[in-house]
Amino acid sequence: MTALTSPRSAGLSGPWGRLSIATKQIVWAWTFLALPVLFFAAVRFYPTLEGFYLSLTDWDLLNEARFIGLDNYRKLFADPVFWQVFANTFAYLVFGTPIAIVLSFAIAYYLDRVTVLHGLIRALYFLPYLTTAAAMAWVWRWFYQPPPIGVINSILGSLGIPAQPFLRSVDQALPAIMLTAIWAHLGFQIIIFMAGLRAIPTSYYEAARIDGLGEGAILRRITIPLLKPTTVFLVVFSSIGFLRIFDQVYNMTSNDPGGPLNSTKPLVLMIYQTAFSSYQMGYAAAQTVVLFVILFSISMAQLWILRNR
């Protein structure tokens, strides 16, 4: 501590010396925090604000941005493609999230009871999560091919079921892609659920069994309620993932991205195409703001649910 009484700090002993230790700690904390805060402001908040401004212009990268008010939003809400894309995005969310959660919970619940080769099975489930989305998408794209090369169609064929068009169908393409996205994130969700399951004290279960509760009742009254924080986290995490889905769609439909006939196109892909194929940066910024508002609302809802816990 004697080292602190250097000539410099002695010189500052006036106002600095009169501060309480708590205040000094706050000053130091903010001094250290200043760098990340400034960095964050520069790379996150400034571009975000700039994005809001751009959404009010007709910037095309080549010419000066011109302020056009809310024209981009008017155009967006009048565009039937936007509403289809909006519906697609919510289809990924509304069907994808519950299926992913129920499936991963069921697997985690039973995997938790498996004692033989537990580690290996867990690793197998987790493996897909380590692979890049593009590589997975291309493998699945091959699975979905029509005969004679498609794997799934050969299996269907051997069972006497007619070949399905999958990615070449306006009705089947979205579920087909959604399934791969669910599968890709399953490993991560299983691991988190298992951690949640292991965190529940075994004494609760013992007490319940002594009281004569059945397995179903234990699941409903103890396991699921106590897993609520884990479930909320995964629901939010997975919702944001589905709302931002891009890689799977882009790679599985790269001949006609988001097709056929926009039936698989999510909002992020529309933003990408508007910005980097058509160079309508202002219009793309407006779409980004819409996506931001949706994501923001979902995050706020998460905070609200957690507070009610």
Partner 1 sequence: MRFATIARLALRRQLLAAAIALGILSSGSVGARAVEIQYWQYVFDTRVQAMSEVIKQFEAENPGITVKQVTFPYADYQTRLIAAKAAGRGPDVMQLFYGWLDTFIAGKLVQPLPKASFKDAEIERDFFPIVSAMKRGGQYYGLPTAVRSMALFYNKDLFQKAGLDPDKPPQTLDELVAAAKAITKRDAAGNFQQVGMALDIARQDHNWWREILLRQYGGESYSADGSKVAYNSEAGARSLEFYTGLQKLHRVGQEGFMDEGQAAFRGGLAGMVVDGTFRIASYKTIQGFKWGVAELPTQDGRKANFGSYFANAIGASATGEKLAAAEKFLAFISSEKAMTIWLDKVGELPARRAVALTEANIKDPIYGPFIRGLDYAATPPMVDEAAQRQVSIDMINTVLLKNTPITEALAAAATREQAILDKFKGK
Residues found near partner 1 in the complex (CB under 8 A)? 60-63, 141-142, 145-149, 153, 157, 162-163, 165, 167-170, 255-256, 259-262, 276-279
How far separated are the first and last CA of the chain, in Å rounded? 45
Judged by beta carbon, residue 238 or residue 264, the one nearer partner 1 is: 264
Q: How far is the CB of 145 from partner 1 (least distance, A)?
A: 6
Nearer to partner 1, 69 or 162 (CB): 162
CB of 156 to partner 1, least distance (A): 10
Nearer to partner 1, 169 or 302 (CB): 169
Nearer to partner 1, 154 or 302 (CB): 154
Least Å distance, CB 86 to partner 1, is 18
For partner 1, give the closer residue by CB, 147 or 229. 147
Could you tell me the smallest distance in angstroms from the CB atom of residue 136 to partner 1? 16
| Beta carbon of residue 256, minimum distance to partner 1 (angstroms, whole number) | 5
